[in-house]
Amino acid sequence: MAGCVEGDLASLTGLLTAAGLSNASSIGEFMCSKFADVSSSLSTHTLAVDNIYLLFSTYLVFSMQIGFAMLCAGSVRAKNTMNIMMTNVLDAAAGGISFYLFGFGFAFGRSQTNNGFIGSNFFGLHKMPNETNGFDFSFFLFQWAFAIAAAGITSGSIAERTQFVAYLVYSSFLTGFVYPIVAHWMWSIDGWLGAAAVTNRLFGVGAIDFAGSGVVHMVGGIAGLWGAYIEGPRIGRFGSKGQPGMDMRGHNASLVVLGSFLLWFGWFGFNPGSYVKIVVPYAGSAFEGNWTGVGRTGVTTTLAGCTAALTTLFGRRWMTGHWNVLDVCNGLLGGFAAITAGCAVVEPWAAIICGFGAAWVLMGFNHLAPKFKYDDPLEAAQLHGGCGAWGLLFTGLFAREKYVFEAYGPDRGHGLFMGGGGRLLAAQLIEILVVIGWVTATMVPCFYLLDRAGQNFAKADSVNASREGSRNNREMQEAI
């Protein structure tokens, strides 16, 4: 309707002219203007509905911060509850400022050279909203909720060992620079790695990471892996020869279960919400559209998590001889982390395979962790890093061509087992490797410097305390 001109009403104007109405052209112009008004109104309503959907998804994703807080609080010892709750608040606060100032621009900024590595505008939300790129404030808010989720994953790995100042530094660095660069590679239309790119996609197809198994979960998990490794295990966690030492299980299973359900609830914004727009009909169909993909994505997310939870339940029972609700909750979340990459492009039956594999990946990494004296109170690196990597591989095997076309458009790859050849699987492998490499190259120096600074502060405090004690002793002797 928006392209209506008087000529479109030639038959009508001809009848009007034959009837002796000399102003037939004016009547046609008037009618076209009315149709244009209707079209404009419908477009405005479509934008409003899409933004409401995106904001609602944002609120769901942000509610995951409550889930992270409850999960962390229940997984640490009681004496450290306030510390870990503080770090969860700092995730949102420090991450909000750093993502506003730098992160969003690095992730989604565009330049005239279409830089595939890093964005170069929209810093401090300059020139937002931006009609050219289709960015409104709701899109920034949605992406901020994703960024702080990555930081929340890392906080779980290094729980009970981090000072607030150090946490502020690495959390701001992760949300303001490390995470946004990976997001640009995968989700920007200029990115060199992802299927979202308009041109020059990797291997001609680009990697598929729809809602962030790699971008969010692997980034947070690998960062947590290095943070926990550099800081070392908690005192008493292992004996002098590496054997298991003090039992440091979380103090409150009820909070862990509550946090897991809140995260499950939030994942319905995390995965389906990544469509960003819901009022997008599919070509050749009067019934299906993005609303169909949103519903299917919710189904695949649910099935993967449920399968992983049940697999972990019986797997751990077989290994240990006990039923353990904490293991089941982590298995559930591992299934969610894995399906996040391919949630929009796989069949529901394939999601069950994804969840089954994620459970064994998680249990396998948890079995290896003590052998390397690795201490992660929430199993965050194993869960998000390991299961996130499995989710990327799974997508390269099971992505369906029809769903890929609906989510990304033509000329993208689909799964090896679905007749798509090996290009998509190769792109998925490259994403895994570059995420590991990038996070390692950036976060290892960050954690190392923070650890050294923390040791120096601790030594200075110890010396000052010793001097203060000596002075008090001298004063007491003089008084005597």
- What are residue 54's DSSP bridge partners? none
Q: Is the pLDDT of residue 165 over 70?
A: yes
Whether residue 73 is predicted with pLDDT greater than 60 in this model: the reply is: yes
Q: Which pair of structure tokens corresponds to residue 212?
A: 């962030």
Give a yes or no: residue 17 inside a domain. Answer: no
Instruction: Quote the CA–CA distance of 149 and 330 in Å, as a whole number.
Output: 16
Determine which of 28-32, 94-98, 261-265, 408-412 has the lowest per-residue pLDDT on average: 28-32
Please count the structural domains in the chain. Answer: 1
Mean pLDDT along residues 315-324: 92
CATH code of the domain in which 97 resides: 1.10.3430.10
281, β-bridge pairs: 289
Tokens of 277: 């727009």
Beta bridge partners of residue 244, listed in sequence order? 238
Task: Check whether 10 has a pLDDT greater than 70.
Answer: no
Residue 417, domain member (yes or no): yes
Q: Give percent of the chain with pLDDT exceeding 90.
A: 64
What are the angstrom distances between the C-alpha of 173 and each of 5, 117, 164, 461? 54, 17, 14, 27
Higher pLDDT, 43 or 18: 43
The answer as to whether 45 is a domain residue is: no
Separation of alpha carbons 348 and 368, rounded Å: 31
Question: Is residue 201 assigned to a domain?
Answer: yes
Domain coverage including residue 127: 51-471
% the chain with pLDDT above 70: 84
Whole-number pLDDT of residue 464: 47
pTM of this structure: 0.88
Inter-CA distances, 258 with 4, 352, 358, 395, Å: 56, 24, 22, 30
**Higher pLDDT residue, 236 or 344?**
344
Over residues 160-178, mean pLDDT? 89
What confidence tier does 468 reach under pLDDT thresholds 50, 70, 90?
very low
Calculate mean pLDDT across residues 27-38: 60
Query: 284 is written with which tokens?
Result: 């050749």
Neighbours of 68 (CB within 10 A): 28
Give the span between the Cα atoms of 31 and 7, in whole angstroms.
12
Q: Is residue 34 part of a domain?
A: no
The per-residue pLDDT of the chain, averaged, comes to 87
Q: Summarize pLDDT for 33-70 with one digit per residue, the tens.
A: 655 656 666 678 889 999 999 999 999 999 999 999 99
Is there a domain that residue 193 lies in? yes
Assigned domain for 15 exists: no
What is the rounded average pLDDT of the residues 219-223? 96
The whole-number pLDDT of residue 35 equals: 58
Residue 88 lies in a domain: yes
Q: Is the pLDDT of residue 382 over 60?
A: yes
Q: How far apart are CA 462 and CA 446, in angstroms?
A: 24
* pLDDT over 70 (residue 458): no
